[in-house]
């Protein structure tokens, strides 16, 4: 991650409205891809669906070409945590697929991820995904003016741990977002509350818990992208981009208008 500045970018209401347009493209794309997930489909076919959807919505993919990334979405299967590259892999019944997508509208980014069951998935893996999603929403709830950044991190960690015995991945974080996809500040998914910068109206943050069914220790495959759980246990990843507004958190990458 390359930071141009340690300042957290503040957006005007008009700029957040453009970010909402980008977020809606991401939401529609994730929905289209998730709808196509089934045993037998390849991750490359899913990437093509995302490419078409982003183009149809007059947006630009954030990921394609990002530090050389060769696809529009990241597709991470089972023990793959994040940054999986779409390809010839055929999804099988029982897999858990994490899909991460970013889109740009008029220079402003949206970034979100979902984990989707392929066919019939085991109860423990479904519980992992549900815990990770609920932790995301717990973090989003803390994206309020006057809170401190680590209030988000703490809420995410508490929610995952409250849901069961899961590992919280610490080597990757959420991030500020706006005119670039990855901006200051990094947002860990663990930590004590009450630390870090005070959140202000006009900030936009991508909150993205990653959790595992086993050990949260991760490594990177020889493709230099795919992050995997070293113990090969399954992982889940959920993400939304949220804006901090006068009236509270505005989830920019949800299909519906969600103000928390
Ligand atoms: Mg993402
Ligand atoms: Mg992100």
CB 244 within 8 A of CB 259: no
E strand intervals along 138-196: 167-168, 174-176, 183-187
pLDDT, tens digit, for every residue of 190-212? 999 999 999 999 999 999 999 99
pLDDT of residue 1: 47
Q: How far is the CA of 184 from the centre of ligand 2 (A)?
A: 12
Q: Go through the chain and tell me how many residues it has.
A: 260
Q: How far is the CA of 174 from the centre of ligand 2 (A)?
A: 6
Q: How far is the CA of 93 from the centre of ligand 1 (A)?
A: 25
Q: How far is the CA of 101 from the centre of ligand 1 (A)?
A: 6
Kindly report the CATH class assigned to 13-259: alpha beta
Q: Which ligand is nearest to the CA of 174?
A: 2
Q: Which ligand is nearest to the CA of 101?
A: 1
Q: Which residue in 66, 60, 62, 65 sits closest to 2, CA to CA? A: 66
Q: 3-class DSSP state for residue 148?
A: strand
Q: How far is the CA of 188 from the centre of ligand 2 (A)?
A: 12
pLDDT, tens digit, for every residue of 8-40? 999 999 999 999 999 999 999 999 999 999 999
Q: Which residue in 89, 98, 82 sits closest to 39, CA to CA? A: 89
pLDDT, tens digit, for every residue of 48-99? 999 999 999 999 999 999 999 999 999 999 999 999 999 999 999 999 999 9
pLDDT, tens digit, for every residue of 209-236? 999 999 999 999 999 999 999 999 999 9
CB 62 within 8 A of CB 216: no
Half-sphere exposure of 80 (CA within 13 A, CB side): 23
Structure tokens at 225: 């992208």
Give dist(CA 151, CA 141) in Å, integer: 10
Q: How far is the CA of 88 from the centre of ligand 2 (A)?
A: 24
Residue 4 banded pLDDT, cuts 50, 70, 90: low
Q: Which ligand is nearest to the CA of 181?
A: 2
pLDDT of residue 6: 79
Structure tokens at 212: 């595992």
Q: How far is the CA of 189 from the centre of ligand 1 (A)?
A: 14
Neighbouring residues of the ion ligand 2, judged by CB less than 5 Å = 111, 206
- DSSP letter, residue 193: S
pLDDT, tens digit, for every residue of 124-165? 999 999 999 999 999 999 999 999 999 999 999 999 999 999
Q: Which ligand is nearest to the CA of 205?
A: 2
Full-prediction pTM beyond 0.95? yes
Neighbouring residues of the ion ligand 1, judged by CB less than 5 Å = 100, 111, 113, 239
Q: How far is the CA of 102 from the centre of ligand 1 (A)?
A: 6
Q: Is the pLDDT of residue 5 over 80?
A: no
């Amino acid at each position: 991650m390359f930071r141009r500045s340690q300042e957290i970018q503040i957006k005007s209401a008009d700029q957040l409205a453009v970010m909402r347009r980008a977020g809606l493209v991401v939401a529609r794309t994730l929905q289209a891809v998730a709808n196509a997930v089934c045993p037998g489909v390849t991750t490359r076919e899913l990437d093509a669906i995302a490419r078409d959807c982003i183009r149809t919505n007059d947006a630009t993919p954030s990921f394609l070409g990002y530090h050389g990334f060769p696809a529009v979405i990241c597709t991470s299967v089972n023990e793959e945590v994040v940054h999986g590259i779409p390809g010839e892999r055929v999804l099988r019944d029982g897999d858990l697929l994490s899909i991460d997508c970013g889109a740009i509208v008029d220079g402003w980014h949206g970034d979100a991820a979902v984990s989707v069951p392929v066919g019939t998935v085991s109860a423990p893996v479904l519980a992992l995904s549900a815990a990770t999603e609920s932790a995301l929403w717990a973090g989003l709830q803390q994206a309020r003016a006057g809170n401190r950044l680590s209030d988000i991190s703490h809420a995410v960690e508490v929610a995952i741990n409250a849901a069961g015995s899961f590992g919280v991945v610490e080597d990757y974080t959420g991030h500020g977002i706006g005119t670039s996809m990855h901006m200051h500040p990094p947002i860990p998914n663990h930590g004590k509350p009450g630390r870090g910068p005070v959140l202000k109206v006009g900030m936009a943050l991508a909150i993205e818990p990653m959790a595992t069914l086993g050990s949260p220790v991760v490594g990177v495959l020889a493709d230099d992208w795919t992050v995997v759980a070293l113990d090969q246990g399954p992982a889940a990843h959920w993400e939304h981009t949220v804006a901090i507004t006068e009236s509270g958190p505005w989830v920019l990458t949800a299909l519906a208008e969600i103000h928390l």
